[in-house]
Amino acid sequence: MFTLEKLENSTPILPVTVDTLAEVRAHLPTFVHNWLDLNKFTGKPGEICIIPALSGKLGTALVGYDPAATALWSIAGLPAQLPEGHYHLEANWSENDQMLAAIGWGLGQYEFAITKKPQEPEQRKLYLSAHYERVVAFVNAINSVRDLVNMPANRMMPEHLAVHMHTLADEFDASFQQLVGDDLIEHGYPAVYEVGRASKHKPRVLELHWGDKKNPEVVLVGKGVCFDTGGLDMKPSSAMRLMKKDMGGAAHVIALARLIMQMNLPICLRVLVPAVDNAIGGDAFRPGDVINTRAGKTVEVDNTDAEGRLILCDALTAACEHEPALVIDFATLTGAARVALGTEVPVFFSNSRPLTQQVQQASADVDELMWNLPLYKPYMHQLKTQFADLKNSGDSYGGAITAALFLNEFVPDTIPWLHIDMMAWNLRARPGRPVGGEAMGLFAVYHYLEQTFQTMIPD
């Protein structure tokens, strides 16, 4: 994928635009002009023209790109189109843009092959002159989200997620613990237990700790519904088809934890993942049930397909108990958020105006769009019920907001909280972003954390 050694036969990758192509052509021999004309290469974004050398080997790979767009995806499509070999980027770009382009190159080589017959991987390596550790860290983190989300549910149940998180903890000398099955009742996670109790794959709360306790505590909470049938309010088959991705929130916080630990951010990190299989069975929780929560509030189950917020409310309560500096949760929570902004733009909510502004700025800084929706408290009337302190879903309007309002009931106003509701799946293929599991908001949130907690990043 990457190399720190620039070989003599390394093939240059030359990014061009429609406006700069003429200048580039002026420095190329006549036979190359003819080759570009023959291939109708104009420098439009996404166009590629491989110029042969007189020796018959690769000479230069010209790629059209949009200078107004992020450099991240500028060469991400090349690994799928170039022959095996060693390459280097020849671009008068800033060091940061070259680093982003390298990350895109790495992401462009992703393929989910875990459940396929092993094959000899093809080698397309890009020379990196700087930021090797950072580039590899981002590629590995994002591809880990993809792997976890793409994994079939029969290979990614709560117990499998626990193994993955335990392995991550061992890799970075972090601590790991888990509560399983009936232990959830004893240790105060009743809502997690209720949602997952019908499955033979026992519900769990997974917890990772890392970092110096003298540093500010940041808690990451990830929704870990390893498969969502909808429960007794069962989804139709078309809506259930992709529900292996309903643990996408867990995948995101695990990947973000990997980045934080690998880049050694000066925080005290805690990761909480409530992991369940929302199955249908004789012991499944029912519409109309009233369940307890860790916070002591009771919740009437209006819809068993609104289970993510039930497991998150216990985890968020636990996350806030030591008054951390910041709590962030990721969740594939609502279809309403997808209706509002489509499948490719994560929605976020916050109980803090400064945090909202800082995350929006971080989103702009790294050119990864996330968009804020309001915690509009007048909609709380939708969550009122005569049978409990609140119910777990509202009517058909403002579903992303009412879901966030439900979670907000379990987070004190004094603790800054960020809630991210995303798809975690690409419905269409784009350069560097194949159809399937995808990290969304990870660049922006990490950038915010890095800017806020100020660390020296190793090269």
Half-sphere exposure of residue 328, counting CA atoms within 13 Å on the CB side?
Answer: 26
CA dihedral 109, 115, 121, 125 (to 10 degrees): 20
| Whether 244 is catalytic | no
Half-sphere exposure of residue 327, counting CA atoms within 13 Å on the CB side?
Answer: 30
* Residue 363 φ/ψ, nearest 5 degrees: -60, -45
Model pLDDT, residue 155: 97
The CATH homologous superfamily of the domain defined by 136-453: Zn peptidases (3.40.630.10)
Q: Write out the H or E segment, with its range, that includes residue 205.
A: strand 204-210
Low-confidence ranges of the chain (pLDDT < 50): 456-459
Q: What is the rounded CA–CA span in Å between residue 86 and residue 194?
A: 54
Model pLDDT, residue 117: 84
Give residue-wise pLDDT tens across range 319-338.
Answer: 999 999 999 999 999 999 99
As assigned by CATH, the class of the 2-130 domain is alpha beta
Model pLDDT, residue 4: 81
Q: What is the rounded CA–CA span in Å between residue 402 and residue 377?
A: 9
Model pLDDT, residue 457: 42
Q: What is the rounded CA–CA span in Å between residue 129 and residue 120?
A: 27
Model pLDDT, residue 180: 98
Model pLDDT, residue 217: 98
Q: Which of 309, 338, 391, 433 is catalytic?
A: 309
Model pLDDT, residue 122: 74
Spans of all domains in the chain: 2-130, 136-453
- Encode burial over 259-294: b for 16+ CB neighbours within 10 A, e otherwise: bbbbbebebbbbbbbbbbbbbeeeebbeeeeebbbb
Model pLDDT, residue 458: 41
Model pLDDT, residue 106: 97
Q: Are 216 and 265 a contacting pair, CB within 8 Å?
A: no
| Whether 309 is catalytic | yes
Closest C-alpha among 109, 86, 99 to residue 135 = 99
